[in-house]
Structure 1
Amino acid sequence: MFGLSPFEMMVIGVIAVVLFGGNLPDVARKAGTIYREFRSRLNEVQREFRAAEYEATKALNPYEPSKAESEEDDEPSEPAAPKFTPPS
Structure 2
Amino acid sequence: MFTEFTSGLTTLGFIFGNANPWELMILGMIALLLFGKRLPEVAKSLGKGIVEFKKGLAGVEDEIRGSGSSSSSSNRSTNVRRPEAIDEEPIVSAPKFEPPKSEPVVSGSSSEQA
Q: Same fold, TM exceeding 0.5?
A: yes
TM-score, normalising length from structure 1? 0.57
- 1:40-79 mapped onto 2 (5 Å cutoff): 40-56=55-71, 58=72
Moved over 4 A (4+): none
Flag structure 2 segments of 5+ consecutive residues without an equivalent.
1-14, 77-114
Deviation at residue 55 of structure 1 after TM alignment:
3.7
Normalised by the size of structure 2, how large is the TM-score?
0.45
Q: Would you tell me which structure has more helix in proportion to its own residues? A: 1
User: How many correspondences in the alignment?
Assistant: 60
Shift of 1:54: 2.7
Q: Please give the residue correspondences for 1:15-34 in structure 2 after superposition, counting only pairs within 5 Å.
A: 15-34=30-49
- Residue 52 of structure 1 and its aligned partner are, at CA, apart by 1.5
State the Cα distance separating 1:34 from its structure 2 match: 1.0
The sequence identity of aligned pairs, in percent, is 37
The alignment status of 1:12 with 2:27, answered yes or no, reads yes
Instruction: Give me the whole-angstrom Cα distance separating, in 1, the residues matched to 2:30 and 2:38.
Output: 13
The residue aligned with 2:54 is: 39
Q: Which amino acid aligns with 1:14?
A: M
If you compute each CA radius of gyration, which structure gives the higher value, 1 or 2? 2
